[in-house]
Amino acid sequence: MSYKAVHDAWKADPEGFWLREAARIDWSVPPTRALDDSRAPLYAWYPGAEANTCWNAVDRHVEAGHGERIAIIHDSPVTDSVSRITYAELRDRVARLAGALAARGIGRGDRVIIYMPMVPEALEAMLACARLGAVHSVVFGGFAAHELAVRIDDFTPKAILSASCGIEPGRVVPYGPLLEDAISQARHAPEFCVILERPQAQVALTPGRDIAWADFVAGAAPAPCVPVAATDPLYVLYTSGTTGQPKGVVRPSGGHMVALHWSMENIYGMRPGDVFWAASDVGWVVGHSYICYGPLLMGCTTVVFEGKPVGTPDAATFWRVIRDHGVRAFFTAPTAFRAIKREDPKGEMIAGYDTSCLQALFLAGERADPDTIEWAAKVLGVPVIDHWWQTETGWAIAANPMGIEALPVKLGSPTVAMPGYDIRILDEGGHEVPRGTLGAVAVKLPLPPGTLSTLWNAEERFVKSYLSHFPGYYETGDAGYVDEEGYIYIMARTDDVINVAGHRLSTGAMEEVLAAHPDVAECAVIGIADALKGQLPMGFVCLNRGCNREHSEVIRECIAMVRDQIGPVAAFKLTVVVERLPKTRSGKILRATMVRIANGEAFRTPATIDDPAVLDEIRSNLSEIGYPAR
């Protein structure tokens, strides 16, 4: 079948299409209909159906006789170790962990936060929650205690599963103090914490609250899979919005299984037993969908990689992992390849590594620049597939469906809409624009299975953020266009979200932190272009009248505050003190103009500007710190 035939089949009968796909999943109560639109614009997939995600990701493969197949390969250059877990072992480990959680009162609908590094136990924790019908929320290890505290208060977990440390190149990151700090900042207190003790760092367990992982699971009775409604949340994953309060994306369990299964087969071209590697982190949506759930639902082997593209130990790490484990499809962010290219511009370090097992490289998380795509294709000698999606959607909105047919690649385009996504480009008034014209990228409702159903504790915010601006559509927050052949081009965000090394960050959240500095009267944070990370945050602060402290001192404090409150992942290292911020006469900060000045791009002085002289001041402040960078 061609892509066109598959897409047309979905378009002609979406209900039939998604019901047929649902048959690939084991249900305890099979769906009799696909879509419930009775509460439109809020939709639910597979109403009345029941299943368990852990069963489908783990147990059913063992039941089908594949217990000896490798489920997880943990490759950890930062601890110099490689280990493998079969499906049968994974089932037993997850069932025991679930049993221990159940014995402590965790059951269907209870909430559990997982704050863990890239170890197999992180996936086991997710699967154990799924097994019980408990809802998990994984928090990325690079976030600071404050971000964890915000999530604890919003998600109100009964338990937190964590580890004694994460490992970054050259440094151990102890989680104990972070967890302690977060719990003391939060209003909500978890009933108990389970801590995986790693040899690289000890942790002082708080008596009565903390239990060592090994003791927790020792002797626990295995727990069976609990069937849950397809509409029950499997997990909540917080992502950056325009304010400091992150958005808790709610992922219903049933549609998630169907969509991920479809994507593994049709987008990534995977078959059971194939080795799939997503070099991301379980704390991001890529980690949820394509380190944990997708590959396991498909019966593949997933690689859990604890390392970086460079420096662990060198720029050939990716090639080694692909060769050593027979990786068939590899997924990462373009920034990772830019990092390798910077260290090994000619790609010479791949010599000696036989990567012929690899069929394709998939890139997402940020715009894939043509240079990076071409370099990767030349070095690896496989198709390089850009695909576009978001935490909210959980799987690709646009992709090149390699499992159906490899469509011709157009550099700069993540190719075409996947079934389920009716993509439209709209102008400010919500009218469709002609082909080739830039506009807001929207998806006609309903979104397909696997996408978010709402925001945790914030249905109004869900409607306001995504469904109100263009009634009848989901607003992606991206701007782009569609060409004559239906290829989609994603150009920029339409909001204050920036993308730093494939990580989605909110400039609004950073502004909230800077504004709390006692000497800062006003501030703005923008995303400037960066050759490695795509974008980098840059802060502009105006100091209170009468503040005569050294600017360098205030700047140091501002940088430390963002690292302290949001985390090292924000990569916030650039700040300038300015006299005034450029504004419109109505007081709106001209962020887009500031971005252009910092990037050294041509710009037109906005007609609505209050005082054009401020732009010259900004330009001179920036040149003092070497921007625009040459």
Write each residue from 495 to 534 as x if it is in contact with ligand COA (CB under 6 A), else as -, in one continuous string.
------xxx-------------------------------
Site string for ligand AMP, 176-205 (x = CB under 6 A): ------------------------------
In Å, the largest CA–CA distance within the chain is 75
Judging by beta carbons within 10 Å of its beta carbon (0-12, 13-18, 19+), is residue 2 exposed, middle or buried? exposed
Beta pairing class for 275-278 and 329-332: parallel
What is the DSSP-derived secondary structure letter of residue 584?
A: B
Question: CB-wise, 228 or 361, nearer to ligand COA?
Answer: 361
Which residue is listed with tokens 């086991």? 124
Residue 71 binds to ligand COA (criterion: CB under 6 A): no
- For residue 66, the partner it binds in ligand COA, ligand AMP, none, with Cβ less than 5 to 8 A by kind, is none
Residue 591 makes CB contacts below 8 A (sequence gap 6+) with: 496, 507, 524, 526
User: Whole-angstrom Cα distance, residue 396 to residue 383?
Assistant: 17
Q: Is 493 a binder of ligand AMP (CB under 6 A)?
A: yes
For residues 277 and 462, which CB has a smaller minimum distance to ligand COA in the complex? 277
Stretch (H or E) spanning 193:
strand 192-196
Subset of residues 264 to 323 that bind ligand COA, contact rule: CB under 6 A: 280-281, 284, 286, 308-310
Q: Residue 493's binding partner, choosing from ligand AMP, ligand COA, none, with beta-carbon cut-off 5 to 8 A by kind?
A: ligand AMP
CA distance 109 to 136: 9
Part of the chain binding ligand AMP (CB under 6 A), chosen from 133-141, 219-227, 388-396, 573-581: 388-396
Picked from ligand AMP, ligand COA, none, the partner binding residue 525 (CB below 5 to 8 A depending on kind) is none
**Contact letters for ligand AMP, residues 535-574 (x by CB under 6 A):** ----------------------------------------
Structure-block tokens of residue 162: 């964590």
Query: Residue 361 Cβ, how far from ligand COA at the closest point, in Å?
Result: 13
Q: Which residue carries 């373009």 as its tokens?
A: 334
Question: Does residue 542 sit in helix, strand or coil?
Answer: strand
Q: Which of 261, 387, 424, 596 binds ligand AMP (CB under 6 A)?
A: 387
Residue 501: which of ligand AMP, ligand COA, none does it interact with, CB under 5 to 8 A by kind? ligand COA
Pick out residues in 570-629 that bind ligand COA (CB under 6 A).
571
Give the bridge partners for 161, in sequence order. 114, 194
Question: Under a CB-based contact definition with an 8 Å cutoff, are residues 620 and 584 in contact?
Answer: no
- One character per residue 349-368, x = contact with ligand AMP (rule: CB under 6 A): ---------------xxxxx
Indicate which of ligand COA, ligand AMP, none lies near residue 504 (CB less than 5 to 8 Å, by partner kind).
Answer: ligand AMP
CB of 351 to ligand AMP, least distance (A): 29
How many residues of this chain bind ligand COA (CB under 6 A)? 23
Q: What is the C-alpha separation between 187 and 177, in angstroms, rounded?
A: 17
Regarding 418 and contact with ligand COA (CB under 6 A), the answer is: no
Residues 407-436 that bind ligand AMP (CB under 6 A): 414
Other C-beta atoms closer than 10 Å to the C-beta of 469 total: 17
Residue 232 tokens, joined:
């029950």
Residue type, 340: I
Among 333, 373, 525, 590, binds ligand COA (CB under 6 A): 333
CB of 310 to ligand AMP, least distance (A): 21
- Contact residue for ligand COA among 31, 365, 420, 582 (CB under 6 A): 365
Instruction: Give SS3 for 136.
Output: strand
Binding-residue total with ligand AMP (CB under 6 A): 21
Q: What, of ligand COA, ligand AMP, none, does residue 335 touch, CB below 5 to 8 Å by kind?
A: ligand COA
Question: Looking up tokens 């969509």, which residue turns up?
Answer: 259
> Which one of residues 59, 265, 478, 496 is an interface residue with ligand AMP (CB under 6 A)?
478
Q: Closest CB to ligand COA among 51 and 510?
A: 510
336 sits near ligand COA (criterion: CB under 6 A) = yes
Note whether 390 binds ligand AMP by CB under 6 A. Answer: yes
CA–CA gap between residue 627 and residue 630 (Å, rounded)? 8
Closest listed residue to residue 294, CA positions, set 541, 123, 65: 123
Q: Which two tokens stand for residue 17?
A: 């299409």
Kindly state the tokens that stand for 368.
Answer: 């894939």
- Phi and psi dihedrals of 182, rounded to 5? -65, -45
CB 9 within 8 A of CB 407: no
Shortest gap between Cβ of 166 and ligand COA (angstroms)?
Answer: 5
Q: Work out what residue 145 binds among ligand AMP, ligand COA, none; the CB cut-off runs from 5 to 8 Å by kind.
A: none
C-alpha angle with apex 613: 607 to 614, nearest 5 degrees? 90
Binding to ligand COA (CB under 6 A): which residues in 549-578?
Answer: 568-569, 571
Residue among 478 and 530 whose Cβ is closer to ligand AMP: 478
Residue 499 found at the interface with ligand AMP (CB under 6 A) = yes
* Amino acid symbol at 484: E
Residue 113, phi then psi, degrees to nearest 5? -95, 140
Which DSSP letter does residue 381 get?
-
For residue 370, the minimal CB distance to ligand AMP (Å) is: 12
Task: Identify whether 313 is preceded by a cis peptide bond (ω within 30 of 0).
Answer: yes
**Would you count residue 239 as binding ligand AMP (CB under 6 A)?**
yes
- Region label for 622, one of left (φ > 0), alpha (ψ between -120 and 50) or beta (otherwise): alpha
User: What's the rounded Cα separation, in Å, for the pair 352 and 501?
Assistant: 29
- Is 289 a residue that touches ligand AMP (CB under 6 A)? no
* Contact yes or no for 330/300 (Cβ under 8 A): no
Cα separation, 50 vs 253, in Å, equals 9
Region binding ligand AMP by CB under 6 A among candidate stretches 215-223, 382-390, 417-425, 507-515? 382-390
Binding residues (CB under 6 A) for ligand AMP: these are: 239, 285, 364-368, 386-391, 414, 476-478, 490, 493, 499, 504
Binding residues (CB under 6 A) for ligand COA: these are: 141-142, 166, 168, 173, 280-281, 284, 286, 308-310, 333, 335-336, 339, 365, 501-503, 568-569, 571
